[in-house]
Structure 1
Amino acid sequence: MSVTQQYLLDTYRARQHGEPAPPAPGTHDWRVVREWRGRREFAAVLAGRPARGRLRSALRRRLSHRARAAG
């Protein structure tokens, strides 16, 4: 069963029982992504790591190391 079919079935059942319809699939996707990012940053701070720019700084270190090894 696809997500859309499950949503339609849930909506039908909710209507039969007089309950509010469930949110459409994908409605809260960006909220979930923002919450996940916030938890990841919070965990980084608790671990003593920088919360932002970790990937960029890791790439910068890696590239500068390669440049020194080649030069």
Structure 2
Amino acid sequence: MSITQQYALDTYRAWRHGAPAVPAPGAHDWQVMRELRDYRQFRAVLAGRPAHGRLRRALARRLRPRPTC
């Protein structure tokens, strides 16, 4: 069963039972991503790591030319 078919079935069941309609698939994806980002920042702070800019610093270390002797 595809996600669209499942959504249609859930919507029909909610309608038959007088319950509020279920949210469409993907309606809360951005909210979930924001909460995941916040959770990862929180875990970083608890572990004593910087919460912001970790990816940029890691890329800068990789891309920075190394001094040659």
Shared fold (TM-score greater than 0.5)? yes
Q: Alpha carbon RMSD of aligned pairs, Å?
A: 1.1
5+ residue gaps, structure 1, are none
Q: TM-score scaled to structure 2, two decimals? A: 0.90
Q: TM-score scaled to structure 1, two decimals? A: 0.88
Shift of 1:62: 2.1
41, 66, 69: which one pairs with 1:68? 66
Shift of 1:10: 0.3
Task: For 1:17 and 1:24, locate their aligned partners in 2 and report how far apart those are by CA, in whole Å.
Answer: 18
Q: Give the partner amino acid of 1:59.
A: L
Shift of 1:61: 1.5
Aligned length: 68
